[in-house]
Amino acid sequence: MAEAGPILVVVGGETKRLQWLTHHVTSHWPNAQVTTLRAGESAPLSRLISERSPDAVILQADFANESLASAVLSVMGQLLRMQPALHCILLADNGNEMSAVRALKGGAKDYLPLAQITRDHLLTAVGEACAKRRIAAQAAAMMANSENSTLIEVPGYSIVKEIATSNFSSVFLARSERLRRNVVLKVMTRGESDREIGDAERFQREYEIISSITHRAIAEIHDFGSQPGHLYLAMEYFPCGDLRDRLRNPLSVEESLYYLRAIAEALRVIHVFGILHRDLKPANVMLREDNSPVLIDFGLARRSLDEIGNTGVGQVLGSPYYISPEQAQGQRVDARTDLYSLGVMFYEMLTGQRPYGGRSAVAIMSQHTNSPVPILPESTAMQQPLLDRLMAKQPSARYTSADELLADLGPIAAVA
């Protein structure tokens, strides 16, 4: 059997150079898969990276044009946030030592000056990328066999890795045989205890809620089913990550307002369907390739007509960092609860930190209930009236709906 050739994605601005590169790679590795894209096609590029997991991405950058070079380095950074182990090779036009330093600091594994590149240089760089990827794949396979042998098997899905786990469920990145692309596979073990029965009910409710809404701001459900001992839910995979990751870098006021409005629009969608999220936080807001947010994790969601929206005494659920005062006290909740959580997130976007902290969940929830609305720093003080209404302790003092908040915000342009 012929040895599998490399899988490459090549991005450049000059057709002849792309053809030259493709010719040398495919003549050396007849089974190579080379996909070429013109510079600026960032959405198809992100999709290719998430679906194909290439051995290497080759990016051409002309350092004589600072704006174009910065754009290429920015794209490379976005790809590495999606897949930190991605092998990026930079082909540099008009570069120098400083260009090489910028590229390598930005995450490039190799830097090849186009003025000096030869066929051998190119093939050596691609060959090293393939070798490193195969070594990493072998190591991952060995680790999976030794440490993850207990991963749940779901027919039709190949588990790639575990993303997260909790007392409620485990979440995996998986490959769907039917869809031929990556999905998020959420699996919950079925049991007979009262807690496990309650967990199963929330899991079923999450499926029913998400599948009842078809909207770009809500994650798409691909599959739902049961196997002996567990339930599973397959949903849309977002390679660009979540808002929690985005908040690791400071946001400008304009970016903060963009996310505030975009998430408010997503809340308006679910509220129109009579659904309260009740667990809104940055980790439950995924980002599409165009930077638009998508709500996920409706395990705690309720239809507002169910049980009159009561949380229930002794049933305080949700993250203590983002919980509303009424939800923290087990009182009746409505759409204003989600808007309070959005206000907490808005404060975090503007300042880089959460408004309240403490040594225990009880201490944090007590601050949500009793502490005043935090004061923004002088640089963002113009947003204080907006924050005051979002995070008002009494629901009656808050925005009554996402529509009212959106009317106050007005149109806001998207940010890249």
**Residue 93 known to be catalytic:** no
> By C-alpha distance, which of 401, 399, 264, 396 is closest to 326?
396
Give residue for tokens 């963009």: 258
Of 145, 168, 191, the residue that ends a domain is: 145
- CB-based contacts of 378, cutoff 8 Å, min separation 6: none
> By C-alpha distance, which of 403, 291, 279 is closest to 342?
279
Using an 8 Å Cβ cutoff, are 78 and 51 in contact? no
The total number of structural domains that make up the chain: 3
Mean per-residue pLDDT, 382-396: 97
Helix (H, G, I), strand (E, B) or coil at 226: strand
Here the contacts of 211-215 (C-beta below 8 Å, separation 24 or greater) are 212/273, 213/269, 213/270, 213/273, 213/275, 215/269
Q: What percent of the chain has pLDDT over 90?
A: 35
pLDDT higher than 80, residue 205: no
DSSP assignment string, 281-332: -GGGEEE-TTS-EEE---TT-EETTGGGGB--TT---S-TTT--HHHHTT-B
Structure confidence by residue, pLDDT tens digits, 210-231 = 888 889 999 998 999 888 878 8
Helix (H, G, I), strand (E, B) or coil at 276: strand
Of 235, 257, 283, the residue that ends a domain is: 235
User: Where is pLDDT greater, at 185 or 196?
Assistant: 185
pLDDT band at 414 (very low <50, low <70, confident <90, very high): low
Cβ–Cβ contacts within 10 Å for residue 28, how many?
A: 15
pLDDT higher than 60, residue 30: yes
User: Where is pLDDT greater, at 137 or 275?
Assistant: 275
2 is a domain residue: no
Residue 196's pLDDT is what?
A: 66
Report residue 334: phi and psi, to 5°.
-145, -160
Question: For residues 231 and 394, what is the distance between their CA atoms, to the nearest angstrom?
Answer: 39
Residue 273's pLDDT is what?
A: 87
Q: What percent of the chain has pLDDT over 70?
A: 85
- 116 plus 208 within the same structural domain: no
- 405 plus 262 within the same structural domain: yes
- 271 plus 386 within the same structural domain: yes
47 is a domain residue: yes
Question: For residues 140 and 349, what is the distance between their CA atoms, to the nearest angstrom?
Answer: 36
Question: For residues 299 and 231, what is the distance between their CA atoms, to the nearest angstrom?
Answer: 13
pLDDT higher than 80, residue 313: no
- 397 plus 328 within the same structural domain: yes
Of 235, 263, 289, the residue that ends a domain is: 235
Mean pLDDT is lowest, of 85-99, 133-147, 160-174, 201-215, for 133-147
Residue 17's pLDDT is what?
A: 78
- 266 plus 402 within the same structural domain: yes
Q: What is the CATH number of the domain that holds 272?
A: 1.10.510.10
Residue 227's pLDDT is what?
A: 84
DSSP assignment string, 335-365: HHHHHHHHHHHHHHHHHSS-S---SSHHHHH
Token duo for residue 84: 């930190």
41 is a domain residue: yes
Residue 317's pLDDT is what?
A: 59
pLDDT higher than 60, residue 307: no
Structure confidence by residue, pLDDT tens digits, 58-73 = 999 889 888 888 888 8
- 121 plus 202 within the same structural domain: no
Mean pLDDT of the chain: 83
Instruction: Please give the residue range of the domain that contains residue 203.
Output: 157-235
pLDDT higher than 80, residue 404: yes
Q: What is the CATH number of the domain that holds 94?
A: 3.40.50.2300
68 is a domain residue: yes
Q: What is the CATH number of the domain that holds 180?
A: 3.30.200.20
> By C-alpha distance, which of 218, 214, 335, 323 is closest to 274?
335
The alpha carbon dihedral of 240, 246, 248, 252 has a sign of: positive
pLDDT band at 138 (very low <50, low <70, confident <90, very high): low
415 is a domain residue: no
Mean pLDDT is lowest, of 76-80, 107-111, 187-191, 281-285, for 187-191
Using an 8 Å Cβ cutoff, are 342 and 399 in contact? no
Residue 312's pLDDT is what?
A: 43
266 is a domain residue: yes
Mean per-residue pLDDT, 304-323: 58
Mean pLDDT is lowest, of 27-31, 77-81, 201-205, for 201-205
Question: For residues 280 and 337, what is the distance between their CA atoms, to the nearest angstrom?
Answer: 9
> By C-alpha distance, which of 143, 225, 149, 229 is closest to 185?
225
State the Cα angle at 84 between 24 and 71, rounded to 5°: 70
- Which residue type does 35 have? T
- 402 plus 261 within the same structural domain: yes
Question: For residues 109 and 91, what is the distance between their CA atoms, to the nearest angstrom?
Answer: 11
Question: For residues 342 and 349, what is the distance between their CA atoms, to the nearest angstrom?
Answer: 10
- 254 plus 342 within the same structural domain: yes
1 is a domain residue: no
- 19 plus 117 within the same structural domain: yes
Q: Which residue in 62, 110, 242, 279 is the catalytic one?
A: 279
150 is a domain residue: no
Residue 85's pLDDT is what?
A: 77
Q: What is the pTM of this model?
A: 0.63
Mean per-residue pLDDT, 234-255: 89
Token duo for residue 85: 């182990």
Token duo for residue 190: 């079925």
Question: For residues 15 and 7, what is the distance between their CA atoms, to the nearest angstrom?
Answer: 19
Q: How far is CA 120 from CA 2, 28, 60, 125, 410, in A?
A: 22, 10, 18, 9, 57
- 298 plus 354 within the same structural domain: yes
Residue 190's pLDDT is what?
A: 72
- 161 plus 299 within the same structural domain: no
Mean per-residue pLDDT, 338-360: 94
- 306 plus 388 within the same structural domain: yes
Give residue for tokens 């051998």: 120
